[in-house]
Amino acid sequence: MDRRLLLQLGLAAALPTRLWAATPTVAESQPRLLVVFLRGAYDAANLLVPTSSSFYYEARPNIAIAKKDALPLDADWGLAPALAESIHPLWLKGQAAFVPFAGTNDVSRSHFETQDHIELGQADEGSRDFRSGFMNRLAGVLGAGGVASSRLEAMAFTDQVPLILRGDLPVANQALRDLGKPAISAAQAQTIAGMYANTRLASTVSGGFEVRDEVSREMAGE
CB 77 within 8 A of CB 49: yes
Residue 29 exposure: Cα atoms within 13 Å on the Cβ side: 6
d(Cα 157, Cα 174) in Å, to the nearest integer?
5
Residue 13's pLDDT is: 32
- Residues 6 or more apart from 140 whose CB is under 8 A from it? 167, 168, 169
CA angle 146, 114, 65 (to 5 degrees): 110
Taking only the tens place, the pLDDT of each residue in 173-213 is: 878 776 666 667 888 988 998 999 999 989 888 888 887 77
107 in the Ramachandran plot: left (φ > 0), alpha (ψ -120 to 50) or beta?
A: alpha
Alpha-carbon span 107 to 182, nearest angstrom = 42
Find the range with the poorest average confidence among 64-68, 145-149, 155-159: 145-149
Confidence label for 45 from pLDDT (cuts 50, 70 and 90): very high
User: What mean pLDDT value characterizes the chain?
Assistant: 80
Residue 2 confidence class, pLDDT cut points 50, 70, 90:
very low
Which range, 88-97, 112-121, 134-143, has the best average confidence (pLDDT)? 88-97
What is the DSSP annotation of 125-167?
Answer: SS---TT--HHHHHHHHTT---TTSS----EE-SSS--GGG-S
Q: At a CB cut-off of 8 Å and minimum separation 6, what does 7 contact?
A: 36, 86, 87
Q: Is the pLDDT of residue 91 over 90?
A: yes
